[in-house]
């Protein structure tokens, strides 16, 4: 399959065995084990990766536990001795205070705790188990989430809890923590916790657990306005931007993403509602994936809005298609890979509801499994050998080159290129391979390099892709609300400024190198001479490339060939170094010169190495 799914966590393998041992120790019998198995499910995944789960014991009590992703061990958090259905749960970073919301579905419990209320939200001291505070007792459903100012656990005098209501508002509670009798944790003034309203009147919201921010959409005069709230380590929060989206959410009453799976929802009805999800990464990229409600499976429409271009985004429809969208370079449709059921993608992901998590993790909500998704190099290699369309070869080649290469994988691609050179009609396969491989070889080293280095030999693509209709349009850019930016937001803002003001694009082209190279050769033939120092520097650059290739342990058979290259070839190599270095120095302000120098040497070394390697293999192939 194009996506390789590696199990990162399985609630049945990582949690259930220890619970069954506990049940056997307590002599609960087979009935207790069946109750546990039937009710065990994942509720939440915290910023540090710890996984909160819940189940019912043999008495019907709601039990909460946590799986530590570092130690791979389970810890009991709290047992609520009532027959209630847990909706949401979160624990603070120290694991001393737990928040949970329940649906009260038995009359005895409802009258005992809060007459007439449907959803109960509680705050519990669990170190040790002590006081229980009722935060909300309302008829609308509530979700809870502790803020983690740092990914690591550490002592905090004050905790902050988000409360998200089905009544379309978000509140933040401030929880003062004190310690009594040594290490006993107590919530100060628990009956009058300070709170503030974060957002209201929204129809959709998504939680970004790794970066501690909420994206949400308000409807203003029939327009969908996307906003984002960032929570900072100093306990403040800021509305970072707002942006109109040309999408219709009129059929969506209320939807939350990444606040845990709502087991009460009718999945059949959800299939006919609009779907929306946001992806970000550390490079300062943000994209919005949207699919309107569909009444027919014969044609599926979805939109992906790029506020900046990120990596690959996988769009999956069970048993129908898997699309790998190249959103770093989306200008040409041929750089994205479109796989249908005919390509055996139907079983790549489970058909149950999925939740996207940071680090390419996916939570299968029904089974309680967390997968790590990566591109499958062996599948992509097999796909390359069998691909018939040029657009499929182009897209699969870029997907394959973007992977962290397994041993021997680059050689397999070179072999494929050498045997399929004449089978490509829409583009020069060798040129595409050389440019793309050099790009991907240095790309991870510098975030902004994609703006400056050539990515593809193809500048236009007019051929239609069977079964696909693509419409592109320019979007209004978000209005940034903050001007003193740092981290992710500084990078996003820089990317937006690039989009606004940079015309034409800044990608490096070899035309200047070719022109200067021909001039140098012509001058030597006619007896004209450039500055000796200038030519010597150019030739020294070539020597640096060859030395760099020796150090990087490129194909050893190529080094003697390179060392024997004539003066003209060395001038070309040296000019490539000189021009690319000057180009990057002009546009990568603030990056140290030594780092740029090494990146240029690595890039040219790869380019030269792949060129000679491809020609060498072409000569050896039958």
Q: How far apart are CA 225 and CA 286, in angstroms?
A: 15
Q: How far apart are CA 456 and CA 473, in angstroms?
A: 22
Task: Report the 10 Å Cβ neighbour count for 446.
Answer: 16
* pLDDT tens per residue across span 468-477: 888 877 777 7
Output the pLDDT for position 616. Answer: 39
Q: Which residue has the higher pLDDT, 231 or 223?
A: 231
pLDDT at residue 521 above 50?
yes
Return the percentage of the chain with pLDDT > 90, whole number.
29
Output the pLDDT for position 111. Answer: 41
Domain regions of the chain by residue span: 508-620
277: nearest Cα among 257, 249, 252: 257
SS3 233: coil
* In contact, 359 and 346? CB cutoff 8 Å: no
* pLDDT tens per residue across span 359-384: 788 899 888 999 998 888 888 999 99
* In contact, 293 and 274? CB cutoff 8 Å: yes
Compute the average pLDDT of residues 166-176. Answer: 95
Output the pLDDT for position 621. Answer: 38
pLDDT at residue 2 above 90?
no
Q: In terms of C-beta density within 10 A (0-12 exposed, 13-18 middle, 19 or more buried), how is residue 4 classed?
A: middle
| String of DSSP letters for 405-435 | PPTTHHHHHHHHHHHHGGG-SSS-HHHHHHH
Output the pLDDT for position 619. Answer: 35
pLDDT band at 222 (very low <50, low <70, confident <90, very high): confident
pLDDT at residue 117 above 80?
no
pLDDT at residue 150 above 80?
no
* pLDDT tens per residue across span 456-500: 888 888 888 888 888 877 777 788 888 778 888 988 888 787 777
pLDDT band at 564 (very low <50, low <70, confident <90, very high): low
pLDDT band at 507 (very low <50, low <70, confident <90, very high): low
Output the pLDDT for position 196. Answer: 96
Output the pLDDT for position 264. Answer: 62
> Which tokens is 182 given?
């040594």
Lowest mean pLDDT among 84-93, 163-172, 434-443, 570-579: 434-443
- Of 179-183, 200-204, 244-248, 559-563, give the range with the top mean pLDDT: 200-204
**Which H, E and C letters describe 121-156, residue by residue?**
EEEEEECCEEEEEEEEEECCCEEEEECCCCCCCCCC
pTM of the model: 0.83
Output the pLDDT for position 622. Answer: 33
pLDDT band at 73 (very low <50, low <70, confident <90, very high): very high
> Which tokens is 128 given?
């040790």
pLDDT at residue 599 above 50?
yes
pLDDT band at 561 (very low <50, low <70, confident <90, very high): low
Output the pLDDT for position 272. Answer: 67
Q: E strands, 259-388, where?
A: 275-281, 285-291, 303-306, 312-317, 321-326, 337-340, 354-357, 361-364, 369-375
pLDDT at residue 565 above 50?
yes
Output the pLDDT for position 368. Answer: 92
């Amino acid at each position: 399959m194009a996506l390789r799914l590696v199990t990162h966590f399985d609630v049945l393998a990582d949690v259930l065995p220890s619970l069954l041992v506990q049940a056997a120790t307590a002599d609960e019998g087979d009935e207790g084990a069946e109750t546990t198995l039937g009710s065990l499910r994942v509720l939440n995944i915290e910023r540090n990766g710890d996984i909160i789960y819940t189940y019912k014991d043999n008495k019907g009590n709601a039990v909460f536990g946590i799986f530590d992703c570092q130690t791979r061990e389970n810890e009991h958090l709290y047992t609520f001795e009532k027959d209630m259905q847990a909706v949401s749960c979160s624990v603070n970073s120290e694991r001393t205070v737990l928040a949970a919301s329940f649906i009260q579905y038995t009359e005895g419990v409802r009258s005992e705790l809060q007459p007439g209320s449907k959803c109960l939200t509680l705050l519990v001291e669990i170190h040790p188990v002590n006081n229980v505070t009722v935060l909300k007792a309302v008829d609308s459903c509530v979700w809870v989430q502790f803020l983690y100012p740092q990914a690591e656990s550490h002592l905090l005098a004050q905790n902050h809890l988000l409360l998200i209501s089905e009544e379309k508002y978000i509140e933040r509670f401030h929880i003062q923590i004190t310690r009594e009798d040594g290490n006993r944790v107590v919530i100060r003034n628990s009956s009058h916790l300070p709170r503030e309203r974060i957002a209201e009147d929204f129809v959709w919201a998504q939680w970004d657990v790794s970066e501690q921010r909420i994206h949400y959409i308000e409807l203003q005069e029939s327009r969908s306005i996307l906003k984002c709230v960032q929570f900072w380590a100093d306990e403040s929060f800021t509305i970072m931007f707002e942006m109109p989206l040309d999408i219709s959410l009129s059929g969506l009453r209320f939807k939350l993403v990444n606040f845990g799976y709502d087991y009460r929802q009718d999945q059949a009805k959800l299939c006919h509602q609009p779907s929306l999800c946001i992806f970000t990464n550390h490079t300062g990229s943000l994209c919005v994936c949207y699919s309107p409600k569909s009444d027919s499976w014969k044609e599926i429409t979805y939109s992906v809005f790029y506020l900046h271009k990120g990596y690959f985004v996988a769009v999956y429809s069970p048993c129908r298609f898997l699309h790998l969208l190249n959103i770093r370079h989306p200008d040409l449709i041929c750089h994205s890979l479109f796989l249908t059921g005919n390509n055996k993608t139907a079983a790549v992901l489970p058909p149950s509801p999925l939740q996207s998590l940071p680090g390419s993790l996916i939570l299968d909500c029904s089974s309680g499994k967390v997968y790590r998704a990566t591109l499958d190099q062996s599948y992509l290699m097999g796909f390359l050998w069998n691909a018939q369309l040029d657009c499929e070869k182009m897209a699969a080649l870029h997907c394959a080159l973007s992977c962290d290469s397994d041993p021997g994988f680059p050689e397999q691609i070179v072999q494929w290129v050498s045997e399929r050179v004449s089978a490509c009609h829409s583009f020069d396969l060798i040129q595409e391979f050389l440019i793309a491989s050099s790009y991907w070889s240095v790309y991870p080293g510098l975030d902004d390099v994609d703006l400056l280095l050539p990515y593809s030999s193809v500048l236009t693509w007019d051929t239609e892709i069977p079964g696909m209709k693509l419409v592109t349009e320019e979007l209004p850019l978000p209005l940034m609300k903050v001007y003193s930016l740092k981290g992710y937001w500084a990078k996003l803002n820089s990317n937006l400024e690039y989009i606004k003001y940079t015309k034409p694009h800044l990608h490096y082209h070899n035309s200047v190198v070719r022109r200067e190279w021909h001039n140098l050769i012509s001058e030597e033939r006619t007896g004209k001479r450039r500055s000796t120092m200038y030519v010597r520097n150019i030739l020294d650059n070539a020597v640096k490339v060859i030395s760099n290739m020796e150090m990087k342990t490129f194909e050893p058979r190529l080094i003697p060939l390179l060392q024997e290259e004539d003066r003209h070839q060395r001038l070309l190599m040296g000019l490539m170094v000189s021009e690319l270095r000057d180009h990057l120095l002009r546009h990568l302000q603030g990056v140290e010169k030594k780092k740029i120098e090494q990146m240029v040497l690595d890039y040219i070394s790869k380019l030269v190495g792949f060129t000679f390697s491809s020609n060498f293999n072409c000569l050896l192939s039958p």
